[in-house]
């Protein structure tokens, strides 16, 4: 039978620590066809000179341990195996890794902030491992700023019954290139909340993924992006349900404005035959504010069992509803203000999910600034 000869999923077929296991992308591959390879500055084909400076500095809660370790530390790379060439390149090239650990049954008293600052130069590579031991609880902020050509992998190991809330801000300068994989491995009854905010950079390609090691895992992946003229912001999500009775929800919303603004959102969910009782939903919405912007939205779903609690996805792209504007303008609100309010409303529901008030304020202000451009 021809049907059984292929890997179970047609999404994400290869994973390896070895760069050579991934051919140099040509742009025709499914996973690369949306990405403008010429703007990756050589991260994808080994020509990027590794002379860049990216500093990782952690402002940790007192209960949390932070270590800087060398690349041969045995804890690294156990939760996540690179799934594409750039990710493997980052894994093969980073020199120091940051390891953040929250001890068993400890609740961190305040958010731990990881400042990632790019200071220009050539390519730089990074690796971060965040481990929550069983029953631990923490909020983590990853704050990317400055300019860089940066490829990194971030592993989140969420132990049994632990709760991890992550906000990742991609707030780069206009010329930055950032290719990043964020992988969360969830233990029994673990809770993972991830919020990605991507605003700055010439090209940002963020690939958050989730796997489950035991039943009861619960993941919410939320995202917000604002794409300006000439920017390429790409989010590629993968939730792989391999064990029974886990839950996932993916909600990404983006606004696009200006010539050549390009948003790509790929949401892959696999429900394997063993993963009975899975409950999953994915949603992507794009608000196209001006001509010349382009939004690609692909929510893929592969389901190998009939015993699902719920499975679905939805994607919608369009411009601001004229009726909304009319409603507001009929009440005396000027056009520009009405437009601003509608975009606010579009993002408001998501912003509420950001755990850290300062970050919420900052994102709100950034959206305001984008709208004023």
Partner 1 sequence: MTVTDRPELEGLGNYKFGWADSDAAGSAARRGLSEEVVRDISALKNEPEWMLDLRLKGLRLFGRKPLPTWGSDLSAIDFENIKYFVRSTEKQAASWDELPADIKSTYDKLGIPEAEKQRLIAGVAAQYESEVVYHKIREDLEEKGVIFVDTDTGLREHEELFKEYFGSVIPVGDNKFAALNTATWSGGSFIYVPPNVTVEIPLQAYFRINTENMGQFERTLIIVDENSYVHYVEGCTAPIYSSDSLHSAVVEIIVKKGARCRYTTIQNWSNNVYNLVTKRAVAYEGATMEWIDGNIGSKVTMKYPAVYLMGEHAKGETLSVAFAGEGQHQDAGAKMVHLAPKTSSTIVSKSVARGGGRTSYRGLVQIEEGAAGSASTVKCDALLVDQISRSDTYPYVDVREDDVSMGHEATVSKVSEDQLFYLMSRGLGEDEAMAMIVRGFVEPIARELPMEYALELNRLIELQMEGAVG
Q: Which residues here bind partner 1, judged by CB under 8 A?
A: 1-3, 5-6, 10, 30, 273, 276, 286, 288-308, 310-319
Write down the residue that tokens 């140099």 correspond to.
24
**What secondary structure letter does DSSP report for 107?**
B
CA 316, distance to chain mean position in Å, is: 20
**How far is the C-alpha of 272 from the C-alpha of 241, rounded, in Å?**
6
At residue 22, the 3 state secondary structure works out as coil
Q: CB of 222 within 8 A of CB of 165? A: no
Closest separation between CB of residue 357 and partner 1, Å?
Answer: 33
SS (H, E, C) 260-320: CCEEEEEEEEEECCCCCCEEEEEEEEEEECCCCCEEEEEEEEEECCCCEEEEEEEEEEECC
At residue 227, the 3 state secondary structure works out as strand
Write down the residue that tokens 């090209």 correspond to.
203
Closest separation between CB of residue 43 and partner 1, Å?
Answer: 24
Q: Are strands 54-59 and 112-132 parallel, antiparallel or unpaired?
A: antiparallel
Backbone angles phi, psi at 41, to 5 degrees: 55, 35
Residue 2 or 332 having the CB closest to partner 1:
2
Closest separation between CB of residue 339 and partner 1, Å?
Answer: 13
Closest separation between CB of residue 284 and partner 1, Å?
Answer: 9
Q: CB of 54 within 8 A of CB of 117? A: yes
Closest separation between CB of residue 283 and partner 1, Å?
Answer: 10
Closest separation between CB of residue 319 and partner 1, Å?
Answer: 5
Residue 302 or 355 having the CB closest to partner 1:
302
Closest separation between CB of residue 99 and partner 1, Å?
Answer: 38
Residue 41 or 272 having the CB closest to partner 1:
272
Residue 222 or 297 having the CB closest to partner 1:
297
Burial of 359 (0-12, 13-18, 19+ CB in 10 A): buried
Closest separation between CB of residue 174 and partner 1, Å?
Answer: 22
Residue 16 or 305 having the CB closest to partner 1:
305
Residue 105 or 309 having the CB closest to partner 1:
309
Closest separation between CB of residue 329 and partner 1, Å?
Answer: 18
Residue 23 or 46 having the CB closest to partner 1:
23
Please count the CA atoms within 13 angstroms of the CA of 80 that sit on its side-chain side: 32
For the record, the structure tokens of 353 come out as: 């999910």
Which residue(s) pair with 147 in the sheet? 119
Helix (H) or strand (E) holding 336: helix 335-351
Q: Which residues contact 303 (CB under 8 A, 6 or more apart)?
A: 271, 311
**How far is the C-alpha of 138 from the C-alpha of 102, rounded, in Å?**
7
Residue 170 or 297 having the CB closest to partner 1:
297
Residue 16 or 300 having the CB closest to partner 1:
300
């Amino acid at each position: 039978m021809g049907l059984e000869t292929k890997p179970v999923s047609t999404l994400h077929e290869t994973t390896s620590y070895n760069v050579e296991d991934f051919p140099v992308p040509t742009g025709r591959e499914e996973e690369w066809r949306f990405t403008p390879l010429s703007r990756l500055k050589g991260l994808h084909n080994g020509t990027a000179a590794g002379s860049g400076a990216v500093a990782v500095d952690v402002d940790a809660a007192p209960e949390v341990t932070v270590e800087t370790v060398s690349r041969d530390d045995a804890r690294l790379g156990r939760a996540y195996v690179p799934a594409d060439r750039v990710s493997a390149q980052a894994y093969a090239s980073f020199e120091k890794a940051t390891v953040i650990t929250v001890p068993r049954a400890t609740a961190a008293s305040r958010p731990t902030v990881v400042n990632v600052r790019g200071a220009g130069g050539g390519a730089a590579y990074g690796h971060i491992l965040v481990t929550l031991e069983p029953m631990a609880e923490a909020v983590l902020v990853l704050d990317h700023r400055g300019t860089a050509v940066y490829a990194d992998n971030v592993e989140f190991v969420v132990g049994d019954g632990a709760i991890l809330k992550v906000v990742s801000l991609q707030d780069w300068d206009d010329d930055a290139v950032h290719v990043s994989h964020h992988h969360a491995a969830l233990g029994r009854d673990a809770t993972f909340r991830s919020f990605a905010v991507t605003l700055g950079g010439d090209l940002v390609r963020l690939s958050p993924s989730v796997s489950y090691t035991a039943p009861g895992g619960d993941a919410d992946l939320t995202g917000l992006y604002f794409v300006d003229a000439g920017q390429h912001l790409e989010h590629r999500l993968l939730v792989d349900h391999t064990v029974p009775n886990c839950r996932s929800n993916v909600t990404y919303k983006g606004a696009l404005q200006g010539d050549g603004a390009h948003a790509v959102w790929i949401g892959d969910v696999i429900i394997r035959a063993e993963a009975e009782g899975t409950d999953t939903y994915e949603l992507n919405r794009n608000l196209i504010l001006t001509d010349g912007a382009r939004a690609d939205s692909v929510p893929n779903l592969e389901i190998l069992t009939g015993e699902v609690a719920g499975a679905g996805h939805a994607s919608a792209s369009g411009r601001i509803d004229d009726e909304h504007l009319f409603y507001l303008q009929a009440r005396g609100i000027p056009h520009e203000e009405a437009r601003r309010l509608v975009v606010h409303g579009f993002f408001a529901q998501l912003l509420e999910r950001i755990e850290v008030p300062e970050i919420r304020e900052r994102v709100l202000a950034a959206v305001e600034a984008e709208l004023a451009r």
